[in-house]
Structure formats: C-alpha cells, structure tokens
Structure 1
Amino acid sequence: MIVFVVCRLIFWMHHTSSSVLVFKLVISGNRRYTTDDEIRNAVLRVAPMGTFITYNINLVQREIKSLPWVKQVSVRKQWPNKLKVYIIEYVPVAYWNSSHMMLTRDAVIFTIPESRMNRQSFPMLFGPVGTERDVLINYYVFLEILKFNLYTLQSAGIDNRYSWHIILENGTRLILGRKYCIERLQRFVKFYPIFLKKNMYKNNEFVHYIDLRYESGFSVKTIPNK
C-alpha cells in the first residue's frame, strides 16, 4: 500500500511537471557589469520555453557562464515554475596588455568584448605570458608608494627583457630596470620634486621619461611644452 501511494505520487509529479512551463526567472548575486537582459537572452538562446522536467539547466548554466564578466554561475529549478540563477562576477582591477583583456585581483585574465572596451577607468598592466601575478603584486607596491606621495599611476609592467616601466598619469615614463625597482621608485619620489621645482617649471618643459637605472640619481629626458 505504501509503495502504491509513492508510485502514484511520483506519477502525479511527473505528469503535472511535464505540463508546467518554466517562465519565471529569478536572478541573484552581487553584479556590477552583467545585466538582467544579458542573462535573460542567454537563457532564451538555449530554449525559449521548456517544461519543468525537461528544461536543461546545464545548457543554461553553460550559456550564462560564457558571458564576459561571469566567473561562476549556479542554475537550479524551483517547483513549480521558477528558474533561479546565482552569479559571481570577476572583479577587475586593471587592463592586461590590451583594452579587451582584464586582470582580476587574483591575477586571473579574462576577455571582454569590443563593445565593452574602455567603459571603465582602470590602469594598464603589461608583461609577457605568465608574469601577470608578479606584475600585479608590484603594481600594488608601486601604487602605495606613489599614492603616499600624491602621484597617480596610469600604467605599469615589464617588457620582454623583464625591465620594469611605469607611466604616471601626466604621461611621464619611469624606467626602473630589472633590479631594485622599489628602491629606485622611492628615490624618485624623494628627489624628483626638488629637481622639478628647480628646473622644469622655469624652463616650461615636459618630462618625457626618467631613467632610474643608476646606483645614485637619475637621468631625465625632457621635451618643450606645447
């Protein structure tokens, strides 16, 4: 008798579920970049409508995961007619080597479409493949040194010879070299304001780059201000 009741219950659930359409989409999670429309369109690309039993949430999950800002996604059905989507986004901190690749605070690289380029204000970090974590770590160190001395960092990274370069917000480029880059940057913030006050302002010149690859001091390349 108990078995009979259970079987009848299962039959009723299957029969009823097969006629119930999944039509209510519930979206949750901390989102900053992924819109409701993008998620809804991703769901509709899999199937415009489906039954509660037959709706393939794995395909839906895969489609939403392909959206540029989505790091993780969980999709589940809730009786009788809900599709619940929970999203975790990437948290970008910088562009990486180009304006369509971004770097997270965990040094994970992800790609954004051309239509979303340059919408956000982030520094540009650059370096050879596999150096993103080292570049990101040094970027934060550079950032603190410069912020403490009221400089703003626009770009930082290493070239193919693993020489460190920084570009300030005003366009001035700092060449730090392969070694002692922290000490050299500290030397810059200590002595450059004195040099700037004595020389640049009175000559109406712009500092194109500063080479700090010396045991003491630095060399400066200037161009006339337009």
Structure 2
Amino acid sequence: MASTARALNWQFWSGLAFFLVVVASTFTGIGWLYYTAMDAQEVPIKRLLVQGELQYVAPADVRETLLSDPLGSFFSADVDRIRAQIEAMPWVAKASVRKEWPDILKVFVVEQQPLAHWNANERDDALVNQAGEVFYADKSRLTVRLPYLSAPEHALTQAVQQYRDLQELLQLNGFAVQEVALSERFAVEVVLQDGVVLRLGREALFERIQRFIDLYPQLQGHRDDAVVDAVDLRYDTGVAVSWRAPDEQQEES
C-alpha cells in the first residue's frame, strides 16, 4: 500500500514538473519570437516604395522624413504613426501605408491640389487647395500660375466661391482672373490677367460682370492713346473708367 502511494506521489510530482517545464518552454519560446519580431536587425524593412501621381512631393523627401526616426522591424513598424508623419509634410494631402511581406513598406501619397495663393501679403507660403482649405507649402515647387485670393480669414469659403463663379463667367468670354479680393464688408474687386481692375462692390456681381463684358470692346476702341486701367461698376447704370498710357502697361507686365 505504501509503495503504491509512493508511486502515485512520484507520478504526480513528475507530471507537475513536466507540465511546468512545458509552460516555461512555451513562454520562453513566445518571448524569443516576440523579441525577434520586434528586433529591426532580425526582421528589417529593406525596401520603401513611394507611389502616387507626384508633382510637388519627391520620393526622396518621403524617405528622408521617415528615416529621420527608426522605423522598427517589419512587425513593430507602426503604420498609423508613419502615415501621420507623411501627412504632416507640406505638400501631402493624404497618405496610405501598408506592409508587404517579407520586407517592403509601401506608401501611397495624394498631393495637395493648389487652387490659389491665399492672403499672400500676410504669409507668403499660404495656399488654398481645390477643397477650399488653407495649407502651407514651398511655393517654389509650383508648376502652374495661380491666382491670388485675399479676404478676412473667416471669409475663406466666400472668397473661393466668388473666385470660382467669376472666373467661370469671365473665362467663357476670353478673360482670365489674376486676383480676387474681398474687403471686410465683402466688397469684391477683381484684377484680370492683363492688369485691368474691376470694382464690383457687394451686390449684383454677375450683372456687373456682364455689363463689363458687353462694354469692353467699346472701351478698347474708345481711346488710341491709352488702355483701360480700372472699371468701376458699382453703379446702377453706366461705369467709371480710368486709363493709363500703353507704355505704363508694358512696364508693369
């Protein structure tokens, strides 16, 4: 009886010891796998691919931004943090990041699409994008000529809408807008690409623009010794026109 008890006791303790060894080995293995996966030297990211229709963002800029801090291993690299880093770059609107086994980090960049300069007299790097949002970027990278919008900061939406509406009407009739300015009282002034200033005021903007379009051919032929400088359309009927000598226009252009 005593020998049977001793045998059972030995079996219990040996079984318990085996179980503890298995548990310890399992946790040791898990720990080894975790630290191996997290170790950038063991499972490094070897390739960074930057994709997208890029005009203003150079792939080298993205790489420099990301490599300024350690990326971590393939498993430990935080794609949300990486995306936030890229989206903080001046010309980037959005970015998506994903990993591709065994060692690739893929980045897709959507650039800002500039619509116009914004309040350039106050801050030279301010731009408005096609969504009507202000962003700040290096303008030396611009590849197109942009108009200038100026208005009180709280009137951004109105300024963008006024520009789009007026530009559409003027463009249909062969004119291009160089600048749209809204005063604190929302009076509108437009500068055309050829330097002609249109003072429109706050009301009946489209009617006043149409009046200018109708009158402009007559104004062009009205004087041989001068060109139109500014047209004040803030009248119920008629306009007030100021003139300048042709050589003044050439000096300014």
TM-score (norm 2): 0.77
Aligned length: 217
Q: 2 CA distance for matches of 1:9 and 1:123?
A: 63
What's the counterpart of residue 59 of structure 2?
36
What's the counterpart of residue 183 of structure 2?
159
1:66-105 superposed matches below 5 A: 66-98=88-120, 99-105=124-130
Structure 2 vs 1, CA of residues 9 and 25 (structure 1 numbering), >3 Å: closer, same or farther? farther
Shift of 1:176: 0.2
1:103-182 superposed matches below 5 A: 103-113=128-138, 115-116=140-141, 120-182=144-206
Structure 2 vs 1, CA of residues 114 and 143 (structure 1 numbering), >3 Å: closer, same or farther? closer
Shift of 1:181: 1.1
Q: 2 CA distance for matches of 1:206 and 1:9?
A: 86
Does the CA contact (< 8 Å) of 1:165 and 1:177 recur in 2? yes
One-letter identity of the residue aligned with 1:156: V
* Greater RCO, CA 8 A, separation 6+: 1
1:190-205 superposed matches below 5 A: 190-197=214-221, 199-200=222-223, 202-203=224-225, 205=226
Deviations 1:30-49 (A, max 9, x none): 332111011110111122x5
Shift of 1:53: 2.8
Does the CA contact (< 8 Å) of 2:219 and 2:228 recur in 1? no
| Equivalent position to 2:241, from 215, 220, 224 | 220
Task: Tell me which protein shows more helix as a share of its residues.
Answer: 2
Shift of 1:74: 2.0
Does the CA contact (< 8 Å) of 1:46 and 1:59 recur in 2? no
Shift of 1:10: 6.4
Deviations 1:181-208 (A, max 9, x none): 11101100011211221x23x12x1322
Q: 2 CA distance for matches of 1:30 and 1:8?
A: 47
Q: In the alignment, does 2:85 pair up with 1:60?
A: no
Deviations 1:84-116 (A, max 9, x none): 212222211111111411111211110113654
| Equivalent position to 1:210, from 227, 231, 243 | 231
Percent identical across equivalent pairs?
A: 28
Does the CA contact (< 8 Å) of 1:73 and 1:88 recur in 2? yes
SS at the partner of 1:145? helix
Shift of 1:178: 0.9
The runs of 5 or more residues in structure 2 that have no matched partner are: 1-22, 248-253
What's the counterpart of residue 26 of structure 1?
49
Shift of 1:127: 0.9
Q: 1 CA distance for matches of 2:144 and 2:243?
A: 31
Structure 2 vs 1, CA of residues 176 and 129 (structure 1 numbering), >3 Å: closer, same or farther? same
The runs of 5 or more residues in structure 1 that have no matched partner are: none
Q: 2 CA distance for matches of 1:208 and 1:92?
A: 29
Does the CA contact (< 8 Å) of 2:45 and 2:74 recur in 1? yes
Deviations 1:107-138 (A, max 9, x none): 1110113654x653111111111222222222
Shift of 1:9: 9.3
SS at the partner of 1:142? helix
One-letter identity of the residue aligned with 1:64: I
Deviations 1:149-194 (A, max 9, x none): 1112111131122110100111111100011111101100011211
